[in-house]
């Protein structure tokens, strides 16, 4: 889930995004939070359809919240890009389908609650396909 705020014109857009993604695998519960700044260029392909591509830079926070383990988190950089298609629905609304890839250096430790370190987890990259509804003020 995420929130985005920015500005756009006919050539491109810039925006800030906050998103929060969590999940579990084999009893390990992780959460990734991103605070990102992005710029996209538009390539019109029809009257109300545009392709876009751009770059993203920001910070990411990785948190390990697994049952039976001490909670740990780390903040690292995020750097990547995105591509997609933007479809204008009305004067103020549009929808987009996009793909974003980020590289990062965030990591956390796995320690038994009250015990010693058992290992660590690193977030080297993440990829996300997303569907978004946009409203322009």
Kindly list the domain boundaries of the chain, sorted by start residue: 2-135
Give the confidence band of 94 by pLDDT, cuts at 50, 70, 90: very high
Give the distance from CA 129 to its chain's centroid.
10
CB 98 within 8 A of CB 132: yes
Options 2.60.120.380, 3.30.450.90, 2.40.160.20, 1.20.1250.20; CATH for 2-135 is: 2.40.160.20
Inform me whether the pLDDT recorded for 110 exceeds 90: no
- For the segment 109-120, the average pLDDT, to the nearest whole number, is 80
pTM: predicted TM-score of the whole model, two decimal places: 0.84
CB 4 within 8 A of CB 42: no
Closest to 1 (Cα-Cα) out of 123, 130, 137: 130
Inform me whether the pLDDT recorded for 134 exceeds 90: yes
């Amino acid at each position: 889930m995420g929130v985005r705020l920015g500005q756009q014109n006919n050539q491109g857009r810039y925006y800030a995004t906050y998103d929060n993604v969590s999940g579990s695998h084999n009893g390990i519960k992780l959460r990734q939070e991103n605070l990102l700044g992005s710029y996209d260029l538009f390539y019109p392909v029809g009257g109300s359809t545009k392709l876009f591509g751009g770059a993203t830079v920001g910070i990411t926070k990785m948190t390990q919240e697994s049952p039976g383990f001490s909670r740990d988190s780390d903040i690292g950089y995020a750097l990547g890009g995105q591509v997609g298609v933007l479809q204008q629905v009305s004067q103020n609304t549009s929808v987009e389908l996009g793909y974003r890839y980020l590289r990062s250096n965030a990591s956390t430790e796995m320690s038994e609650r009250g015990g010693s370190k058992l290992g660590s987890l690193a977030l080297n990259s993440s990829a996300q396909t997303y569907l978004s509804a946009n409203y322009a003020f």
